[in-house]
Every structure is written in C-alpha cells, then in structure tokens.
Amino acid sequence: MAHPERLAIVKLIEQQKTLTVTEIYVRLKLEQPIASHHLTILKTAGVLNGKKDGKTTNYTLSSAKVGSLLTAVYKLISS
C-alpha cells in the first residue's frame, strides 16, 4: 500500500475529488497499465471507489479520512 506511486494517486484524488485513469496517468506521468494496476490494488484494499460512466471509470476516495491519513503518511515518508 505504501508504494510511492499509489500514495501519489491517493494524494491527487484527494485534491481533485474524482479522476479517471487517463487523468491520473497523464498528471503523474505514468504508463496507463501501471496506473490501472495501482488503481486496482487501491480499489481492492478499500481505499478507492470506482464508478462506471460509459466507457470510463471515475475514481474517488472511499472516505475523506483515508485520504487525510495517507497524505500524512506520504508527508512522513517524503521528509
């Protein structure tokens, strides 16, 4: 869970509230399959929710508390 790219995804979604996989991989400069892999892990862990909208999925945090906690962890790791 503490993978730097997954933490960056959570931080980004916390700031933007909802994002698609395309928005995530473009903003974080990741390859699409890598972003999708991390999103699957985060969704399976209960950190993110994914809501289908046609052909795209919009990702949101499952709870604002989760985002705040993981952002705090990210800050600790970064310092």
Checking if the pLDDT of 64 tops 80, the result is no
Q: Measured between alpha carbons, how far is 47 from 40 in angstroms, rounded to an integer?
A: 10
* pLDDT at res. 1: 58
- CATH-assigned architecture of domain 4-74: Orthogonal Bundle (1.10)
pLDDT at site 72: 75
CA distance 67 to 44: 16
Q: Under a CB-based contact definition with an 8 Å cutoff, are residues 25 and 39 in contact?
A: no
Tell me the two tokens of residue 20.
């698609």
Look up residue 30 and give its amino acid.
L
Distance CA 11, CA 17 (A): 10
Instruction: State the pTM of this model.
Output: 0.82
Q: What pLDDT is attached to residue 56?
A: 93
Which pLDDT tens digit goes with each residue over 2-59? 688 998 998 899 899 999 999 999 999 999 999 999 999 999 988 999 999 999 999 9
CA-wise closest residue to 50 among 64, 42, 36, 60: 60
